Amino acid sequence: MNLTSNIKNQKSILVTGKNGQLGQSLYKLVTQHSTSNIQHCFTFVGRDELDLADSSSIEAYFQDKHFDCIINCAAYTAVDKAESEPELADQINHLAVKQLAEIAKKQDSTLIHISTDYVFNGKNHKPYVESDSVDPQCVYGLTKLKGEQAIQAINPKSVIIRTSWVYSELGNNFVKTMLRLGAERDSLNVIFDQVGSPTYAGGLAQAILQVIASEAKQSFKGKSNVTIYHYSNEGVCSWYDFAKAIFALSDIKCQVSPIETKDYPTPATRPHYSLMNKAKMKNDMALEIPYWRDSLIACLNELKKNTMNHV
Ligand SMILES: NC(=O)C1=CN([C@@H]2O[C@H](COP(=O)(O)OP(=O)(O)OC[C@H]3O[C@@H](n4cnc5c(N)ncnc54)[C@H](OP(=O)(O)O)[C@@H]3O)[C@@H](O)[C@H]2O)C=CC1
Ligand SMILES: Cc1cn([C@H]2C[C@H](O)[C@@H](COP(=O)(O)OP(=O)(O)O[C@H]3O[C@@H](C)C(=O)[C@@H](O)[C@H]3O)O2)c(=O)[nH]c1=O
Ligand SMILES: [Mg+2]
């Protein structure tokens, strides 16, 4: 899928993971806005065209294509399943990312890569800054960290954006799971001792476009270090608070009880505290980030619109 505008000085930008939450949100953003705002030529690919599980597919794809910028939205995101599929998770979140970093370096292109709060161990008591030490507690987090480290070793002309608890009207996520379970059940137990901040994928997509615009202004050429940014919505909540807000705003009468992590055993260990400090991103991009509840309302409105369009 290739979207081109007529404006000069446009960059050719590849977006991987086109069918994921973030890939779809970026697509929606660049196709719904006027071309005066979006001046670049975007190519969106899914695993059919570029399979990150297969290094020869990656090599073949870039054989005859050049991009100024690669936004890697594809990832192995099944956190619990990763515990029993560590090799596949490592291939997609680490080895394929290493290969993309090498290709980007060879092509002199900027790699924008998305990472996660799960690279931290969750033992902090104040929001994580970009330079805080990492210590993932699960296979998914470890493979994402190895992807970050590979980029740092290979291509300084890269930006890593760590985000958390991503949801959207597009794709699968906690909000949609809650809406489904809330409609099926009278009551639900949800963990209240894991706190962080949800991230609306539409807002993250906008922030990524701002990073690209700032990159165009500053030129990342000659950069000696990879830039790391943290991005989520503002505010803090537990998964329990998030579930309560989802039900309250959707008029769903499902009783939610707060439970401890130990009472909801899962294969993967998740951080108890994964709030991230976003000051660097906000300062560098002159960005105002919405409060999580306001973005949740926006997402629920989008979901309502989508349902109304389908009746
Ligand atoms: N979801 C979240 O809560 C969070 C996500 N992140 C990170 O943000 C980024 C975007 O996540 P999000 O959009 O939510 O993730 P999704 O799970 O919604 O999308 C991931 C996409 O990656 C694609 N993919 C998986 N395996 C392959 C493969 N072998 N080859 C090519 N593509 C593949 C999937 O393809 P298909 O549709 O065909 O399965 C899917 O479209 C990821 O890097 C993720 O680690 C960070 C923090 C939180
Ligand atoms: C469905 C459900 C989940 N939970 C808990 C489990 C978990 O701790 C939390 C959220 O569930 P999820 O399955 O959405 O969690 P998870 O898939 O681990 O979400 C993570 O995904 C990856 C990709 C990331 O990078 C992270 O930032 C984070 O968003 O809620 C309940 O307590 N009750 C429930 O009924
Ligand atoms: Mg999940």
Q: Tell me, yes or no, whether 97 lies in a domain.
A: yes
**Is residue 65 predicted with pLDDT exceeding 80?**
yes
Residue 129: which CATH number?
3.40.50.720
Whether 264 is a known active-site residue: answer no
Q: What is the pLDDT of residue 219?
A: 58
What is the whole-number distance in angstroms between the Cα of residue 273 and the centre of ligand 3?
A: 17
- pTM attached to this predicted model: 0.96
Q: Count up the domains in the chain and report the number.
A: 1
Q: Which of 76, 118, 128, 140 is catalytic?
A: 140
Region of 171 (left: φ > 0; alpha: ψ -120 to 50; beta: rest) is left
Q: Tell me, yes or no, whether 43 lies in a domain.
A: yes
CB 117 within 8 A of CB 276: yes
Q: What is the pLDDT of residue 155?
A: 87
Average pLDDT for 271-299: 97
pLDDT tens for each residue of 225-244: 899 999 999 999 999 999 99
Average pLDDT for 249-271: 97
d(CA 110, CA 93): 18
pLDDT tens for each residue of 187-200: 999 999 999 999 99
Q: Tell me, yes or no, whether 286 lies in a domain.
A: yes
State the closest ligand 2 atom to the C-alpha of 274, by its place in the atom list counted from 1. Answer: 27
CB 233 within 8 A of CB 292: yes
Ligand nearest to the CA of residue 259, numbered in listed order? 2
Q: Kindly list the protein residues whose Cβ atom lies closer than 6 A to any atom of ligand 2.
A: 77, 79, 116-118, 164-166, 174, 177, 188-191, 194, 239, 264, 270
The rounded percent of the chain whose pLDDT value lies above 70 is 92
For 15, the 3-state DSSP assignment is: strand
Domain span at 125: 12-172+198-233+275-290
pLDDT tens for each residue of 127-153: 999 999 999 999 999 999 999 999 999
Q: Tell me, yes or no, whether 308 lies in a domain.
A: no
Q: Tell me, yes or no, whether 6 lies in a domain.
A: no
R_g over Cα of the chain: 19
d(CA 168, CA 98): 28
Complex ipTM tops 0.95: yes
Q: Tell me, yes or no, whether 36 lies in a domain.
A: yes
State the closest ligand 1 atom to the C-alpha of 74, by its place in the atom list counted from 1. Answer: 22
Q: What pLDDT band is residue 32 in, cutting at 50, 70 and 90?
A: confident
As a whole number of Å, the end-to-end CA separation of the chain is 28
Q: Tell me, yes or no, whether 309 lies in a domain.
A: no
Q: Tell me, yes or no, whether 178 lies in a domain.
A: no
The tokens for 86 are 């560590």
